[in-house]
Amino acid sequence: MPQYTFDKKNGARLKNQESPLQPGVYLQPADSVETAPPSFDPLTHEAVWSDENNSWTVQEKYTGPYASREEEEANRPALLTDADLSSMSAMDYLRNRRDVLLEETDVFATISIDGPSMPTSVRTYRQALRDLPSNVSNPQLVLTSDRTNVELTNVTWPNVPQEVLDRR
Instruction: Please report which confidence band the pLDDT of residue 99 belongs to, taking 50, 70 and 90 as the band edges.
Output: very high
Alpha-carbon distance 130 to 127, whole Å? 5
Section 35-62 average pLDDT: 92
**Cβ neighbours of residue 45 under 8 Å, at least 6 residues apart?**
58, 59, 60, 61
Instruction: Please report which confidence band the pLDDT of residue 126 belongs to, taking 50, 70 and 90 as the band edges.
Output: very high
Section 79-99 average pLDDT: 91
User: What's the confidence (pLDDT) of residue 114?
Assistant: 67
pLDDT exceeds 70 at position 113: no
User: What's the confidence (pLDDT) of residue 1?
Assistant: 53
